Amino acid sequence: MKIVISMGGSIIASPSPSRNIDIIKDFAKLLVDYYNRGHRLFVVVGGGQLARDYIRVAKELGADERYCDEIGIRATRMNAMLLVAALGKWAYEDILDDIRDDSRLEDDFGISRIFVMGGVRPGQTTDAVAARLASKIKADLLINATNVDGVYDRDPNENPDARKFDKLSYDGLLEIVGEKHRAGVNTVIDPTAARIIREDKIKTIVLNGKRLENLRDAIDGRACVGTVITE
């Protein structure tokens, strides 16, 4: 299969990369395992706490939304480089600036090695990048590996009684996440990504990226804890 994983920055950078070294290593081992089974793997890494901390300070210093987005993009690429370091020879070392005009994504990327990248341009999160990438390569599956067990009607970290959805339609997802992106805002899926998922009917699963056996179940098509987004 062609599999795109939107890897939340929280898996690598929250509360700090030094606290997540074992998680990063185990995630890399999982990717190598599936790559060696013949799957083509594409991972887009988010900014996590690193990005949010820098963006918060930049806003206090007077930076506008676009500038804050640029800061967040750089944080995502730093996190992506840590995953590349863990993957070693199994990953491409270069981190692309964009996906729109890179023929390697279709001709070679994901075949010779595992493809890893971060954010690409202001105005969208890495979730949106992952959705665009899944659309571009006609992925069989898009996985949003975040820090919660799926899509909830409210933020479960702030609302203990939040309700999780086991399944959602594309329209239902868009209703929950809203319409507008803001730099540094932490939502389960970016609104732009939700629109792309709906328009291209991309099968998507939202789950906790630190629960690796559950992630394996999702990839292998078994029942898993998460939210499956389909028609």
Cβ proximity of 103 and 110 under 8 Å: no
Task: Extract the tokens encoding 53.
Answer: 């901390």
Alpha carbon 132 to its chain's center: 12
Please determine, for residue 60, whether its predicted confidence score (pLDDT) is greater than 90. Answer: yes
Which residue segments constitute the domains of the chain, with CATH numbers given?
A: 2-230 (3.40.1160.10)
Average pLDDT over the chain reads 88
Please determine, for residue 215, whether its predicted confidence score (pLDDT) is greater than 70. Answer: yes
pLDDT score at 39? 94
Cα dihedral angle (198, 204, 207, 211), rounded to 10 degrees? -160
Q: Spell out the alpha helix ranges (H) of 65-185.
A: 65-87, 104-107, 126-137, 170-177
Beta-strand runs (E) in 25-157: 40-45, 115-117, 141-146, 151-152
Q: Are strands 115-117 and 40-45 parallel, antiparallel or unpaired?
A: parallel
Please determine, for residue 7, whether its predicted confidence score (pLDDT) is greater than 60. Answer: yes
**pLDDT tens-digit readout, 144-182:** 999 889 998 887 878 888 889 999 999 999 888 876 544
Alpha carbon 142 to its chain's center: 9
Please state, in angstroms and rounded to a whole number, the distance separating the CA atoms of residues 7 and 145: 5
Q: Which amino acid is at 5?
A: I
Higher pLDDT, 181 or 190: 190
pLDDT score at 187? 58
Please state, in angstroms and rounded to a whole number, the distance separating the CA atoms of residues 111 and 101: 18
Q: Are strands 2-7 and 141-146 parallel, antiparallel or unpaired?
A: parallel
CA atoms 160, 164, 170, 172: torsion sign: negative
Please determine, for residue 123, whether its predicted confidence score (pLDDT) is greater than 90. Answer: no
Cβ proximity of 81 and 43 under 8 Å: no
